[in-house]
Each structure stands twice: as structure tokens, then as C-alpha cells.
Amino acid sequence: MREPPSQGEVWLAGLTDGPARPAIIVSRNELNRGRLVLVVPCTTARVRERAALPNHVLLPRGEAGLSEDSVAQAHLIQHLDVSLLVRRLGCLDTERLADVLLALAWSVDLFGSTDAWQS
């Protein structure tokens, strides 16, 4: 049995909407020992356009094992069975993980409507 995934790791994952693609583990480590994890999927489509949106985070090529510029799509958070994690690509640094979690907080309006998101 392999080690459970950790928050901030980027995995190639078999998601529900097509072929395997990178996904970031965002669930806290205490929850990652079970059968399900929370992931934020990534895409390489329309990267520059999406990177300007508050619910997306730019992930440059080479970061966390990504072979292309990508964006994390926080509004598409989903649970995933760990058996669908194909292989670990890398891990986000603390600052980039914080950006992804902030985009997730924006997506669910965690802090309420505010102009702070406009900066």
C-alpha cells in the first residue's frame, strides 16, 4: 500500500470529465488517509485568459512537475477516490498552495463579498 497523498501534491488523476489530467490535492492531510480526497483539477486550455480570474491560479510549466503552463480551476473542486490517482507529478510550494486555497475560498464566498478580491 502506498503512502496517502498530501495536501499540495499534484497528481495525474483520472477525473470524471475526460482523460487523466493533473489535479491538486487540497483536502487536509488528516482526511487524506481515507478512500477519498478533495482535488482541484488543472487545465492547459485558455491559460492566459483564465489566469486573470480569481477562481483560477496560474501554474507555470515546470512547477510541481507540470509539463505545460496550466491553471488550477478552484471552482471545479471534487472528491476523488484515491485509486484514481495515477502518479505523483510534484508538489506546490507553500505560497502557490495558499493561492489555490484562496481561489477556493473565493469560489465559495468564504469571506463574503468584498473588494479585496479585486486587487
Statement: the pTM of the whole predicted model exceeds 0.75: yes
User: For residue 37, what pLDDT is reported?
Assistant: 97
User: For residue 15, what pLDDT is reported?
Assistant: 85
3-state helix, strand, coil in the chain (%, to 5): 30, 30, 40
Question: Based on the structure, what is the number of domains in the chain?
Answer: 1
Residue 84 lies in domain: 9-118
pLDDT band of 112, cuts 50, 70, 90: confident
- Predicted confidence (pLDDT) per residue in 87-97, tens digit: 999 999 999 99
Structural contact between residues 73 and 59, judged by C-beta atoms closer than 8 angstroms: no
- The number of C-alpha atoms within 13 Å of 73 and in the hemisphere containing its C-beta is 17
CA-CA distance, 41 to 61, in Å (whole number)? Answer: 16
- The pLDDT of 5-20, averaged and rounded, is 91
What CATH code is carried by the domain that includes residue 32?
Answer: 2.30.30.110
CA-CA distance, 1 to 6, in Å (whole number)? Answer: 15
